[in-house]
Amino acid sequence: MNSAVGYSEVRLIGTGGLTRSETETVAELLHGLVAGGAALGWVSPPAPDEVAVLLADVTAGIGPGDAALAVAYVEEAPVGFGYWRRYERPTHRVNADLEKIAVAPEHQGAGLGRTLTTVLIAAAVQHSIEVLTLDLRGDNARAVALYESLGFRRYGTLENFVARGPARYDKLFYALDLRGVTV
């Protein structure tokens, strides 16, 4: 994709994972988003080491087909990422959870979140994932619009389940049934 901000591309990451520099950039990206109030599961920004451990764990799942990691680059610098991981419970192993999608604020609205999610859905189909789930905070209208437009269906709501200080938010549960979908 070519836009005013420069050449952008979304790539699925291989078993080698991200470089140290890319990992640091993703950590900075998450730090900025969470500090700005993004609903990504953290109350305060994660430390760079925590992000590195998380990305290493996701990367370890790529080889055996237990995870997929996609990164959005602008001019070769990571500006967004997302991943899914297969459920660990033996009876749920045919399914995976889309745990995070995040795009740097200055690059939001340019289609990268949609492309990241689409690429991760295609990877799930390739890995014969049957149902791809996700959950999100109820006030995240932009993410809700994105996921619903890609076919995710809401299957539940836990009211006032998410706590951020004194504030409470609904937790929304979504699923995309991939059975019968081909690449």
Binding site for ligand COA (CB under 6 A): 33, 38-40, 101-103, 108-114, 136, 140, 142-143, 145-146, 149
**Closest distance between ligand COA and the C-beta of residue 182, in Å?**
24
Distance CA 43, CA 180 (A): 38
Conformational region of residue 6, where left means phi above 0, alpha means psi within -120 to 50, and beta covers everything else: left
Classify residue 8 by its DSSP letter: E
User: Measured from the CB atom, is 40 or 181 closer to ligand COA?
Assistant: 40
Q: Which residues pair with 2 in a beta bridge?
A: 7
| Nearest CB to ligand COA, comparing residues 93 and 142 | 142
CB of 65 to ligand COA, least distance (A): 23
> Residue 79 corresponds to which tokens in the numbers above?
């500006």
Distance CA 24, CA 30 (A): 10
Task: Give the CB-nearest residue to ligand COA.
Answer: 113
Based on CB atoms, which residue is closest to ligand COA, 95 or 133? 133
Of the two residues 165 and 180, which places its CB atom closer to ligand COA in the complex?
165
Q: Over the Cα atoms of the chain, what is R_g?
A: 16
User: Closer to ligand COA at the Cβ: 40 or 65?
Assistant: 40
Check if the beta carbon of residue 114 is closer than 8 Å to that of residue 101. Answer: no
Instruction: State which residue, 13 or 38, has the beta carbon closest to ligand COA.
Output: 38
Length of the chain: 183
Considering the complex, what minimum distance in angstroms separates the CB of residue 146 from ligand COA? 4
Min CB(148)–ligand COA separation in Å: 8
Q: At its nearest, how many Å lie between ligand COA and the CB of residue 63?
A: 26
**Tokens 């045919």 label which residue?**
94
Smallest separation (angstroms) from ligand COA to the CB of 89: 22
Cα–Cα nearest to 174, from 145, 132, 142, 139: 132
